[in-house]
Amino acid sequence: GAGAVGAGVPDGGGHVAASPDQAGAAGGRAEAWGGAVVELASAPSEAWLSVAAGRKGGLPDAARHVLTAVDQVRFAHVYVDGSLVAIGRGTVTGQGRWLGLGLIEVLPVARRQGLARRLINELAAWGVSGGATHAFLQVEQRNTTAIALYQRLGFTTHHTYLTRFAPNPQR
């Protein structure tokens, strides 16, 4: 499927919002976060990898290296009542200028409670502290719910692409 990349961001002007509560205030959902705890780690937990693998239909053996082989990287783990309910990955690259957001996933049982917004907000605050001034993300075009959230945060579509797979010689 095609993917869309947004280059723009929480403040709508192409820069990462420096205010940690800006994204939450924009949506009026801060109260829904309740007891959610967001932890940022330099490596993914096994539970984080399991959620990512479930979303992607499995992860190859080299995935851990690819996910962590960036100097500035954080893995967001969102817990509610001790259970992991959302994940995300942030990187600061491009001479420290770009915050890249990816693998953002909220488990179905915890959706529509503002957790993705909170996760993105925490990664944005981390990115700003690492010097990021711009942000980008990648999202499947068919994920209209996520696209609507990203649009509310100020992201716009920069370009789309089509993923192609090699033919299966076993067919």
Write down the pLDDT at residue 169. 76
Query: What single DSSP character describes residue 72?
Result: S
Please name every residue paired with 65 in a beta bridge, in sequence order, or none if there are none: none
Contact 87, 75 (CB under 8 A): yes
- Assess if residue 34 is contained within a domain: no
* Domain CATH number, residue 53: 3.40.630.30
In this prediction, residues 68-83 reach a mean pLDDT of 93
In this prediction, residues 45-65 reach a mean pLDDT of 85
In this prediction, residues 15-22 reach a mean pLDDT of 39
- Assess if residue 32 is contained within a domain: no
Write down the pLDDT at residue 123. 97
- Assess if residue 136 is contained within a domain: yes
Alpha-carbon gap, residue 72 to 88, rounded angstroms: 14
The mean predicted confidence, pLDDT, of the chain is 81
Contact 44, 52 (CB under 8 A): yes
Sheet strands (E) in the chain? 2-7, 37-41, 73-80, 83-93, 98-106, 134-140, 157-162
- Assess if residue 28 is contained within a domain: no
More confident residue, 166 or 27: 166
- Assess if residue 4 is contained within a domain: no
Helix (H) or strand (E) run with residue 42 in it: none
Where in the sequence is the domain holding 71, given as residue range(s)?
A: 14-20+39-162
- Assess if residue 73 is contained within a domain: yes
Q: Could you give the strand order of the β-sheet that contains 83-93, starting from the edge strand earlier in sequence?
A: 37-41, 73-80, 83-93, 98-106, 134-140, 2-7, 157-162
Please tell me whether the overall predicted TM-score, pTM, comes out greater than 0.95 for this model.
Answer: no
- Is the pLDDT at 114 greater than 80? The verdict is yes
Alpha-carbon gap, residue 99 to 155, rounded angstroms: 13
User: How many domains is the chain built from?
Assistant: 1
- Assess if residue 139 is contained within a domain: yes
- Assess if residue 142 is contained within a domain: yes
- Is the pLDDT at 14 greater than 70? The verdict is no
Tens digits of per-residue pLDDT, 24-52? 333 333 334 568 999 999 999 999 999 99
In this prediction, residues 120-136 reach a mean pLDDT of 95
